[in-house]
Amino acid sequence: MAKQQHAESWSNGKSVLRHGDVPFRVGTVVLASCVVGLVIAMGAIMFVSSSEARNAFGWDVLFGQVWNPVVTDVAQPTFGAWPSVRGTLLSSLVAIVIAAPLALGIGIFLAELCPPQLSTPLSFLVELLAAIPSVIYGVWGVFVFVPFFNEVFSKPVSETVGDYIPWLAGPVATGRGIMVTGIVMAIMILPTIASLTRDVLRLVPNTQREAMLAVGATRWETIWLAVVPYARAGVIGAVMLGLGRALGETMAATLLIGNSQRISESLFAPATTAASLVANELTNSVSSLHESALITVAFALFGITLALNLGARLMIWYVDRGMAGGRS
Amino acid sequence: MNTTNNYRWRKFVDQIMRGSTIVATGCAVIPLIAIIGYVLTLGASALSVQFFTDVYQPPNMAKAATDGTTPAFDPNDPFAGIGIPTDGSAPADGSTPAEASVYAGGPVGGVLHGIIGTLIITGMGLLFALPIGVFAGIYLSEFRNERYSTIVRFCCDVLSGSPSIVAGVVIYVLVVIRNKEFSAVAGSLALMILMIPIVTRTTEEMLKLVPESMREAARGLGAPTWYSTFTVIIPAALPGIVTGVMLAFARGAGETAPLILTVLGSNVISTDLFAPMASLPLLAYRYTESPYPGENTLAWGSAFVLMMLVLIMNILVRVATRSRAGANR
């Protein structure tokens, strides 16, 4: 009662002040719901406009072997995105195989071993790498990395062991292909994984380290047996987020992978990815079926990254919660 | 004896693994320095007054424009100039090396149209994203214990985690197909989708940094929640929110994939919001694929401008947030 009187005397005749809370709440909730609505709308729009291709081909839109949008007198266009889906999976696999162990090492170094005065600038540098637009990685890759990697790795390797291992076989022409794309993607996703790994490792309570050191473990044994396992779920979550970024990466892939629909066993051969397929063909689509098939590919990308995000957030949330419980 | 060996082995493993984490960090820093170094050196050498003040010039036309001669060959003839070596050596067909230099020469024209386009498209996208992002951030911070806020936060993560090309596809279906026209507005809408999660999350984080005691003090004076939010909490967090907006601008300015599907690109200065427009990252992309070395140089120049934008914004944000976090402690 007294509180109410006080509020009234404070606002003295300005009824807007007293009644402002309801519109404020409604306003923030409505605008916050725009974010939720946006996600639902994105999914719904792509679902609806992909129906033509899904009805025509079913799962073959994603797993069919032939992608041929051209209408001729003798052949109907077929849309099977397997070459690009395969390119996406393989290039992301290369990226994650390179990036995950390196990022774990960086995360451990930044969180556990690095002297504090070095940690801040190094963390900043690593985060800067994450902020560089992907088209710059593409420009750098085309003019600097591909020619360099071609001479130093692709050509020598394909000419020597390439005869025995089919996925390292030559001939290497321009050098654009799955391998270089995967490596540039690895550089791009390293900072994402590394900074998240560092964050979850820092959340590990000191009691874990102290207990391990007290029984005579070395620094590394402490990290590997007590700290990393404690944050395991968070580290896996970080890798999943990095994988999501690699799967959806468009510009670097478009510039570096060669955009070829031919399926080749070799990692040095040009290929294509789902995202670069959409970027290259959607504005030039020749029929509504073609357009619809490309939207299906984009929809699949959206679905996969959504699932990866959900999984990763759950993992990181699990670590965060578990630790808060452990600390109290 | 056995124990000593065991200890030595453990010590050895310890040293090796600790060393390998340093090597891993080096592996991340080397490409960073390589990328920044190449873009800064090659990009800076591409810069000139013309780079910032001129628009696209077709290579052979520009040659004629600069030295006053007639074009080396008809610009409308698609087969003109074929067979001229690109390294500046004398062509095999007996034409003069001056014609060859059309292909081998330095950059011609500039990217003013791209700079203007990027500022318009990104600025407009930010205007679209601001109300939703800021208010969603306020909701997440001020009503953080509600169950619905978890859903909003997750949707934010989905938006920031989904590939940028997906935003382009959605706007392409929704706006471009319907209007039968690529347009700057469509590009801004696509960038809005990508900027909203950044603005939302920074606003939320910055509002959460405001000490609880300030909220309690405002409440103690009898101020309703909305009044204290707008007059006490947001002003206290304003520098942080502004840096978040700058970060979103930097991210949006560098996005290329959604713009391919929505803005398409242009070779002239255009301020028509409902027509295709040029954009710096699009120019970097197209010039990278160009066969003309001069245009490749322009790609490096565009990459340089984009990189400087991102670096400066990030360093500013870094400085601003550090002083804020310090002030709150």
Alpha carbon distance B302, B58 (integer Å): 17
Alpha carbon distance A25, A34 (integer Å): 14
Which stretches of chain A drop beneath a pLDDT of 50? 1, 11, 13, 324-328
A241 lies in a domain? yes
Residue A46: list chain B partners with CB under 8 A.
166, 169-170, 173
B324 lies in a domain? yes
For residue B101, the model assigns a pLDDT of 47
Range of the domain at A155: 78-327
Q: Are residues B242 and B159 in the same domain?
A: yes
Range of the domain at B171: 112-328
pTM exceeds 0.90 for this model: no
Q: Are residues B26 and B117 in the same domain?
A: no
A201 lies in a domain? yes
Element (H, E) at B210: none
A54 lies in a domain? no
A212 lies in a domain? yes
Contact A300, A293 (CB under 8 A): no
Domain count, chain A: 1
A23 lies in a domain? no
Tell me whether residues B25 and A220 touch, CB distance under 8 A. Answer: no
Tell me whether residues B172 and A42 touch, CB distance under 8 A. Answer: no
Q: Which of B24, B157, B284 sits opposite A102 (nearest CB)?
A: B24
Q: Please check whether residue A32 touches B, CB under 8 A.
A: yes
Residue A122: list chain B partners with CB under 8 A.
25, 29
For residue A325, the model assigns a pLDDT of 45
Q: Are residues B144 and B278 in the same domain?
A: yes
Tell me whether residues A18 and B250 touch, CB distance under 8 A. Answer: no
B254 lies in a domain? yes
Residues 116-155 in A contacting B (C-alpha not used; CB under 8 Å)? 122, 124-129, 131-140, 142-144
pLDDT digits (tens, 9 = 90+) for B179-200: 989 999 999 999 999 999 999 9
Tokens of B9: 């082995």
A121 lies in a domain? yes
B200 lies in a domain? yes
Q: Are residues B14 and B118 in the same domain?
A: no
Q: Are residues B271 and B191 in the same domain?
A: yes
CATH number at residue B207: 1.10.3720.10
Tell me whether residues B307 and A136 touch, CB distance under 8 A. Answer: yes
Q: Are residues B117 and B9 in the same domain?
A: no
ipTM of the complex: 0.87
A229 lies in a domain? yes
- Report the residue of chain A nearest B282, measured CA to CA: A135
Q: Are residues B16 and B158 in the same domain?
A: no
- Report the residue of chain A nearest B140, measured CA to CA: A32
B148 lies in a domain? yes
Tell me whether residues B306 and A135 touch, CB distance under 8 A. Answer: yes
A2 lies in a domain? no
Residue A106: list chain B partners with CB under 8 A.
21, 24-25, 28
Which stretches of chain B drop beneath a pLDDT of 50? 97-102, 326-329
Q: Please check whether residue A313 touches B, CB under 8 A.
A: yes
Contact B284, B90 (CB under 8 A): no
Residue A295: list chain B partners with CB under 8 A.
169, 173
Alpha carbon distance A306, B41 (integer Å): 39
Q: Are residues B323 and B180 in the same domain?
A: yes
pLDDT digits (tens, 9 = 90+) for A98-144: 999 999 999 999 998 888 888 888 888 877 878 889 999 999 999 99
B221 lies in a domain? yes
Domain count, chain B: 2
* Amino acid residing at A215: V
CATH number at residue A179: 1.10.3720.10
Tell me whether residues B170 and A247 touch, CB distance under 8 A. Answer: no
